[in-house]
Amino acid sequence: MSEISTAVHAPGDRRDSARWLALGVIGLAQLMVVLDATIVTIALPFAQRDLGISEGDKQWALTAYTLIFGGLLLLGGRLADYLGRRRIFLVGLVGFAAASALAGLAQNGAQLFAGRGLQGAFAALLAPAALALVSVTFTEAKERARAFAVFAGISAGGAAIGLIAGGALTEYASWRWTLLVNTPIAILAFVGALAFVIKDVPAPRTGGYDVPGAVTVTAGLIAIVYGFSRAADHGWTSGGTLALLVAGLALLVAFVAIERRSANPLLPLRIPGESNRGGALLAALLIPIAMFAMFLFLSFYFQVTLGYSPLKAGVAFLPFPVGIAVSAGITSALLPKLGPRPLMIAGAALGVVGLLWLAQLSYGDSYAAGVLPAQLLIALGMGPLFVGMQAVALHRVDEADAGVASALLNAAQQVGGAVGTALLTTISVQAAKDYLADNPTVDDLAARAAIYSYDVAFYVGAGFFLAAIPVIALMIKAKPTDFAEDAEESLRVPLAV
């Protein structure tokens, strides 16, 4: 086996085309991971009926996935660094295929929840390995920007695509196929990865694994994600919710103390401590809160208020991934010229305007006038945000830390999504109760109360987009030339071919 640098790509080299085929394989796996967080949303009522799942337990079809995924991401990223990103990527694909089959063939609620939890565990291997592979495969500045644009479009649009696919599969096949469809896709990605994905050189490891760090951060993230999820049903002041959040924060504080002293840390604190990267990670925490507000409440609006079928509700989200694809492509061309900060600020501003537009929804409004323009504005904003976040979060990260840096970005997004779902659900439920109490004689009271509750959630979501703007403006200072120089500096990664 010979060793060559990814910084050298002669015209006509067979690896030029192989790298883009590898990106297709990596993107397919990332799409599978991202859409799986939402693909069962529309199918859930059908699975609940067939498997006899109670109202109190149905949330576990979603929560089992997000809990385990969010909790194990940092560990998955470090395993990718130490054992090889390609190797962990392949292991994740095999495990995800098996877990999807288990969930799709479930005969009771417990089997479904177990399968979803295993999906989350293997997704925690796949997601950081996939992003790290993009980082080490594309090192020339313009190509890297284009690759991140593709990956960002998949990451941002995957949730909407999941709703579309879930609606179609539920309506024309069965709810089980929202899960079973992953198995052949994962197998196809596995074959493609063997053929096209680079064999990277794992990071050298002189000491043992950081077991105390792995245990504390995993338990801490799970406790926080579960605490936020539980708040939607039990309230923010319930003893169980507060205990989980306090315990999660305490465990994360302990994790930081452990990492400061560890000779071989799971998460070197220099990664989130750098200003640009810290800003990208904070933005990655804030933006999904706002984005999930749109997905969650528009899903209810389409099916409950407008009476859409599962398929029609999914198709109604189609402008979102289309808009992201367009804006991500534009961003990839502009990133080396303008740098990430102005593009990300513009994206967040578009998100604010889009959610404020949605917050004007009223009873009797049409999809074309009330929803479509807002969706397009938000989608056009998400492209620069996700491309920028991913580019900055991995900007000049040591090759040995690429996996854990990717995992940290994914963890921020996952926790942000969980926070958004729980926080905005709680706020909207209370808003609906207040509307019902204040307007007892209004016609179509239930429908009007629901729309009012969505509007309140959209206003709060706009606030999170707005909060991201000063974070980006003050913390992300990377210049266009910084990204152009990446190809000439430390991202020359030896690859076995």
pLDDT of residue 484: 55
Q: How many residues does the chain have?
A: 497
Q: What is the pLDDT of residues 53-82, one digit of tens each?
A: 876 577 788 778 877 887 788 888 888 888
> Across residues 429-439, what is the average pLDDT?
89
Burial 314-341 (b: 16+ CB within 10 A, else e): bbbbebbbbbbbebbbbbbebbbeebbb
- What is the spatial distance between Cα 332 and Cα 105, in angstroms, rounded to a whole number? 41
Backbone angles phi, psi at 495, to 5 degrees: -125, 140
- What is the spatial distance between Cα 162 and Cα 178, in angstroms, rounded to a whole number? 9
pLDDT at 479 > cutoff 70: yes
Q: What is the pLDDT of residues 85-113, one digit of tens each?
A: 899 999 999 999 999 999 999 999 999 99
- What is the spatial distance between Cα 156 and Cα 169, in angstroms, rounded to a whole number? 21
Confidence class for position 247, pLDDT limits 50, 70, 90: very high
Rg (CA), the chain: 22
- What is the spatial distance between Cα 315 and Cα 155, in angstroms, rounded to a whole number? 18
Q: What is the pLDDT of residues 359-400, one digit of tens each?
A: 999 988 889 888 999 999 999 999 899 888 888 887 777 777
Find the range with the poorest average confidence among 69-78, 212-221, 479-488.
Answer: 479-488
pLDDT of residue 492: 35
Mean per-residue pLDDT over the chain, rounded: 83
Q: In what order do the strands lie in the sheet with 3-5?
A: 3-5, 494-496, 199-200
Q: What is the pTM of this model?
A: 0.76
Contact 195, 487 (CB under 8 A): no
